[in-house]
Amino acid sequence: MPHYRWHVLGAVGMFFLVLLLLRYAQVEMNFVAAVFSFFMCIFAAMIPDIDSKSSKVFRIFTDLIVIAVAGMIVYYTFSEWLTMLWLLLFWFLLSGPVLLALPVKHRGFIHTIWFAMIFGAVTGFMGLSMLQPPSLLPGLFAFAGYFSHLLMDRKMF
């Protein structure tokens, strides 16, 4: 099992690989979508280890996500209801089982290609509702980052 720094490096490499493939396919991406996609790719590469209470991402992420999502919910409550609903769904998918102390097996469902696809789809819909112009590309990059983690752990199904 690679150290979290290797997962970050793998996600950065995957980001540039997908970016190259998109450029080769002549898919246009604006700067905001590219920056958002970059951070989502790295973030997604860290998510599979959220189910291990001894992982660094678990310790850091649980505190940060509660603070960040609470701030975003307060902000978006007064501006856009649809975005708030996406953030609530996102929060529940990522930290709900951890915060509710539901038994989650390490390297269980969260460590599968199926969860990577769900995570990419949710992120893609967030990109559609939050970015101007709307874009599904952050979802592709989130999936790519998540997939890089699974490749490094050699656990996809």
What digits encode the pLDDT tens for the residues 55-95? Answer: 666 666 666 666 666 666 566 555 566 666 666 666 666 66
Q: What is the per-residue pLDDT for 102?
A: 47
Residue 69 CA to residue 96 CA, distance in Å, equals 12
For residue 133, name the pLDDT band (cuts at 50, 70, 90): confident
Residue 144 CA to residue 16 CA, distance in Å, equals 10
Q: Tell me which of 39-43, 48-52, 118-122 is least confident.
A: 48-52
Mean residue pLDDT of the chain comes to: 77
Query: For the chain, which residues make up each domain, given as ranges?
Result: 4-153
pTM for this prediction = 0.69
Q: What is the per-residue pLDDT for 157?
A: 46
What's the whole-number mean pLDDT along residues 87-108? 59
Residue 112 CA to residue 132 CA, distance in Å, equals 31
DSSP letter assigned to residue 1: -
Q: What is the per-residue pLDDT for 25?
A: 92
Q: How many residues does the chain have?
A: 157
For residue 155, name the pLDDT band (cuts at 50, 70, 90): low
Q: What is the per-residue pLDDT for 13?
A: 94
Would you say residue 104 has pLDDT above 70? no
